[in-house]
Amino acid sequence: MRLILLGPPGAGKGTQAKLLTGRLGIPQVSTGDILRQAVAQGTELGREAKSFMDRGALVPDEVVIGIIEERLRKPDCARGYILDGFPRTLPQAEALARALTSLHASMDRVLSVEVPEEDLVKRLTGRRVCRGCGNMYHVDTSPPRKAGRCDTCGDSLYQRDDDKEETIRHRLRVYKEQTQPLVAYYEGLGLLERIDGQGTVEEISQRVHRALG
């Protein structure tokens, strides 16, 4: 299955993608994770991406399109994948369509996860991520058993540089201007399902499953 998770920052795309990966046995392909890894490794890509990411702007289309074209050719994507955070602009969606055509493949479903803006801000300001395994926590709604430490691997938790309130508000504006138009684009292609992203992680996971049949 080839699937896109669309939705604003903090909608829970990463959380649901990780659950789906476990259940469907296909990889989560997150452009945000790929870019953050490049930043952490100090590669040329990371240095270029960092200035955009830190201020909540989108990394230029040609950069992320190149990353995705390379990633989708890897063997673990042969049986399908969950795209998390890509595409985010119309040129990215069109490039994805061309890449799929060249691989004789097509998109199966696009899920748009919808959450009110004030909830998104609360989710993101409280998010903490494990340095070791990438597990996600929230200081109020899903805190770790031991403060600042991952329940799974024991590594330390950190706050993403772009999870400061001012940057979050900018990311939400960028989403409305540049990414939200993709909801209508995929609706027009008959691929879109809207998912109510409010409720517990498990409730949303069940909605996702119902939407995927």
Contact call for residue 172 and ligand AP5 (CB under 6 A): no
The helix/strand/coil state of 175 is helix
For residues 20 and 72, give the distance between their C-alpha atoms in angstroms, rounded to a whole number.
18
Residue 104, sorted as left (phi over 0), alpha (psi -120 to 50) or beta, turns out to be left
Q: Please work out the total of residues on this chain that contact ligand AP5, with binding judged by CB under 6 A.
A: 35
Site string for ligand AP5, 10-29 (x = CB under 6 A): xxxxxx--------------
For residues 63 and 76, give the distance between their C-alpha atoms in angstroms, rounded to a whole number.
22
Contact call for residue 88 and ligand AP5 (CB under 6 A): yes
Contact call for residue 185 and ligand AP5 (CB under 6 A): no
Q: Out of 50, 71, 123, 207, name the contact with ligand AP5 by CB under 6 A.
A: 123
Q: Which of 1, 11, 2 is nearest to 168 (CA)?
A: 11
Interface residue list for ligand AP5 (CB under 6 A): 7, 9-15, 31-32, 35, 52-53, 56-59, 64, 85-86, 88, 92, 123-124, 127, 136, 138, 141-142, 162, 171, 199-201, 204
